[in-house]
Amino acid sequence: KYAAVLLAAIILTGSVISQSYTVTEIAKRGSHLAVTLPDGSKVNLNADSRLTYKPYLWIISRNVELEGEAFFEVKQGKRFSVKSNQNKVNVLGTSFNIFSRPGNYRVTCLTGKVKVTTHNETTTLAPDMQLTYHNGKLTIKENINAGQSIGWIEDKFVFEGVPLVEVINEIERQYDIRVKADIPPGHVYTGNFSRATKPDMILEIIGKPFGIKFSIE
């Protein structure tokens, strides 16, 4: 009798532990990381990003949490959910890019459809559509070049009217450096660069139109 009770307790404990077990994948500053999820779905993590999920619950619910930026290629199946802070993306089978940094959230749909819930408002994105939530403002763009949003996978970075401070933040993440400069508010940058280019050269090119000199700490 006691042996049966003990066995049941062990099984229950093992079940609880397995359900709470979480896998964390981290792409450090200056690096990218390719991840394959239990169902074969693919995730590419950009620099300074983190992905977490529970493998033993995957067959029941395909849920992940993201901090940073990632490109998802989701296999057909049950609903696939990505939570980022107070935002959520639900899909069945599609490919999309999520950028989730403090104060800035952006979802770009490449294939299929993506349902995005942000601050209690739900929007469905089709291919070449992009949702941005920045400084409390929600913006939807159509007929964009969605492929540019994942140029980072091939170490290509494209900026179109991006606040200069965000461009510098991205350079810091990609090269694992600290950049020193006084950036006046309101400056935006349009341009592109390859990760193969040295960071000091990139900073010189970016700063020249604004008369700003950047230094690497």
The three-state DSSP-derived secondary structure of the chain is CHHHHHHHHHHHHHHHHHHHCCEEEEECCCCCEEEECCCCCEEEECCCEEEEECHHHCCCCEEEEEEEEEEEECCCCCCEEEEECCEEEEECCCEEEEEEECCEEEEEEEECCEEEEECCEEEEECCCEEEEEECCEEEEECCCCHHHHHHHHHCEEEEEEEEHHHHHHHHHHHHCCCEECCCCCCCEEEEEEECCCCHHHHHHHHHHHHCCCCEEC
> How high is the pLDDT of residue 86?
80
| Domain 22-148 fold | Jelly Rolls (2.60.120)
Comparing 22-148 with 155-216, is the CATH topology the same?
Answer: no
> How high is the pLDDT of residue 11?
46
Domain boundaries, the chain: 22-148, 155-216
| CB-neighbour burial class of residue 109 (10 A; exposed 0-12, middle 13-18, buried 19+) | buried
Q: What is the dihedral of CA 172, 175, 180, 185, to 10 degrees?
A: -30
> How high is the pLDDT of residue 119?
83
- Spelled out in words, what is the top-level CATH class assigned to the domain 155-216? alpha beta
> How high is the pLDDT of residue 194?
93
> How high is the pLDDT of residue 18?
53
- List, run by run, the mean pLDDT of 10-residue segments along the chain (217 residues): 50 52 97 97 98 96 97 94 93 94 94 92 95 91 94 94 93 95 89 94 94 91
